[in-house]
Amino acid sequence: MAKMVQFFGSRWGIISAGVFVGVFAPLLQHWGNPKNMGICVACMERDIAGALGLHRAAVVQYIRPEIIGFVLGALIAAVLFREFKPRGGSSPVIRFFLGLFAMIGALVFLGCPWRALLRLAGGDWNAIVGLAGLAFGIWIGILFLKSGYTLGRSTKTGSFSGLVFPIVMIVLLLFLLFAPQFGRTPEGTPTGPIFFSQKGPGSQHAPIVVSLIIALCVGFLAQRTRLCTMGAIRDVILIRNTHLLSGILGIVIAAFIMNLILGQFKASFSDQPIAHANHLWNFLGMVLAGLAFALAGGCPGRQLFLSGEGDGDAAIFATGMIVGAGFAHNFSMASSPAGPGAYGPASVIIGLIFCIVAGFTMREKMA
Amino acid sequence: MSQIIDARGLSCPQPVIAADRKMKELGRGVFEVLVDTETAKENIARLAQQSGWKIETKQEGGDIRLLLEKT
């Protein structure tokens, strides 16, 4: 056990976790997931929001087992290595809205940081613009952190508090498997409350068992190695440390090689799958996402893994993301391959204002 | 008596920022950091290693005491 702890904490440990994601994300795409979306925490949470009827964009509704697996895989690792520590209470309302606005920013770009890396590895050069925006947003977040920004301390809570989010994941798994149809259309056809896309990205998915097993492994490895895209960029800027970055490079290089092998690499700015080429809003969408991730202490994947460890604050952030996805589609904020949604730019500006106000006002004298 | 930073319950990367600030403030010497997650411990250990500070860790119930020293 001690040797495993040592390995996972080492540079080779985090590179292994990154390579695992980089190998299996393109394979998940090969086995049925949407293009350049083998894994995307934002898109997959958006699909879950749609499947639950929180938005009615018919092409992006599916309960993605990957999200379920990430949380439960992290829970298994945390319990096995005695790191399951139920905790919470660190400015939950702010965290909820950071999650909500992070999702809006990510859906203006069309992807979370992991999908940005996978899009890059698939030859979608718009990802470079998005990653630049992400880094810029994180840099702004670091300025706030260095000047005393904090959401305050979390405190220990009862075990049940830490188990609520994993239990929600198990309920989602049951919804995925049984897809209850309680409602009826005027024609009498069964419908809702669980909606699955009949066409579009939501209808494209790898077999459930395959997705779930891979995601459990990713959740396990990421919990052990602390894999975090936002943290990787943040640590390089903040303390000149490249430990987390090596995991991210592992993802990109492995995914690039896999895409070449699988014939999934296509280099261009235009006509990329589930992407648009509006550079300004690709950049600013990810500035918002990066800033929100930095202020909340982790990328969307990391927030799921922390939720599996019993971190109720991370679970609130993830819930905010799912609710944010509902708003993003219901209020025409999310982008489509045609470009930003009608209210996407305005919502990004509102989100940036929220984050900046939080950055300036949330502070506490540290001991 | 060394100085103690209580970084328990703080989100990543605040424990590292606090430790980094103290290292720069002291230049050399001894201080302690109290954390309550393995992640915070690992992050501060990496920072110490790259900054030339020696680090000793001691588990205290659910908390971890980190003793940092540079001579």
pLDDT score, position A365: 59
Whole-number pLDDT of residue B61:
87
At CB < 8 Å, which residues of chain B contact A? 4-14, 16-18, 20, 36-39, 42, 46-47, 50, 62
User: Nearest 5 degrees, angle CA A32-CA A218-CA A118?
Assistant: 55
Of A146, A153, A226, the CB nearest to B39: A226
The residue extents of the domains of chain B are: 3-70
Rounded-to-integer distance, Cα A130 and Cα A175, Å: 33
CATH code of the region B3-70: 3.30.110.40
pLDDT tens digit sequence for A97-131: 999 999 999 999 999 999 999 999 999 999 999 99
State if pTM tops 0.80. Answer: yes
CB contact under 8 A, A9 and B42: yes
On chain B, the residues whose CB falls within 8 A of the CB of A366 are: 5, 10, 14, 18
Residue of B nearest to A296 (CA): B11
For the beta carbon of residue A289, count every other beta carbon within 10 angstroms.
Answer: 35
Burial A43-72 (b: 16+ CB within 10 A, else e): bbbbbbbbbbebbebebbbbbbbbbbbbbb
- Indicate the SS3 state at residue A152: coil
Q: What is the mean pLDDT of each run of 10 residues along chain A (367 residues)?
A: 86 96 98 96 98 95 98 98 95 98 98 97 98 97 95 95 97 95 86 91 97 98 95 91 95 98 96 96 98 96 97 98 98 96 98 98 72
β-bridge pairing B63-70 and B29-35: antiparallel
Nearest to B49 by CA among A240, A110, A158, A259: A240
**Optimal mutation site among B5, B6, B8, B12, interface A, most CBs of chain A within 10 A:** B12
Q: Which residue of A has its CA nearest to B15?
A: A366
- Amino acid type, A197: S
Is there a contact between A293 and A102 (Cβ–Cβ < 8 Å)?
A: yes
Looking at CA atoms only, how far is residue A105 from chain B in angstroms?
22
Q: Do B38 and A83 touch (CB under 8 A)?
A: yes
A→B interface, C-beta within 8 Å: 9, 83, 85, 87, 90, 145-146, 150-156, 226, 231, 234-235, 238-241, 243, 296-298, 313, 366-367
**pLDDT higher than threshold 60 for residue B1:** no
Q: Quote the pLDDT of residue A188.
A: 87
**E-state strands within A53-180:** 87-88, 155-156
Token pair of A36 as six digits: 């350049």
B56: which DSSP letter? E
The pLDDT, as a whole number, for residue A366 is 47
Task: Report CB contact under 8 Å: B17, A241.
Answer: no
